Amino acid sequence: MNVNPSKAITGAVIAATFFALTSGMTWLSIVLGLLAWCLAFDGWLNPFAKGEQLRRTAAKAAFESLDVVGLGKRWQGSTAEVALVKDLTDIRSPAPWKVQVLARTQANAWFITEMQVEGVNKVSLQQLHHINEDAAKGLLGQQPEVYERFFGKTDTA
């Protein structure tokens, strides 16, 4: 039998709350009741967190399996290095989630892919853009640690 530890703990706290309440321990029952409520609320939110993780996993797998010819070149996600992942829409929404990935190929060509994830696992490539190094620097300029990973340290103004 497979028991969910979170549900078991929540059940034990609820049982302790009733015991404290019937034994006249009002303050303890209030504290335990609040703890049970928090645990139950966390369990209620958990399916949403799992859906987000499934969507991210699906998008990552789709990017890694990317293998298309376009713009006169072959673009392969499996050999590219991801520099930046940006949510274009709210991943928690039941509506399709759109995500943008900035990556660099082994030949130092920069590109952006835009993907859409419907549900938790149906992924479609929406767009692929080849960009130059200056455009990549501009996109990474707001994240100095990532910028330095790809372009090295810069002088401080």
Of all residues in the chain, what percent carry a pLDDT higher than 90? 53
Q: Which two structure tokens, joined as six digits, stand for 40? A: 């139950």
Confidence of residue 76 (pLDDT cuts 50, 70, 90): very high
Mean of the pLDDT values across residues 105-123?
92
Q: Which two structure tokens, joined as six digits, stand for 31? A: 């504290």
CA torsion angle 34 35 38 43 (round to 10): -140
pTM assigned to the model: 0.67
Q: CA 31, CA 118: separation in Å to the nearest integer?
A: 41
Q: What is the pLDDT of residue 15?
A: 65
Give the residue extent of every domain in the chain: 5-49, 52-151
Of all residues in the chain, what percent carry a pLDDT higher than 70? 69
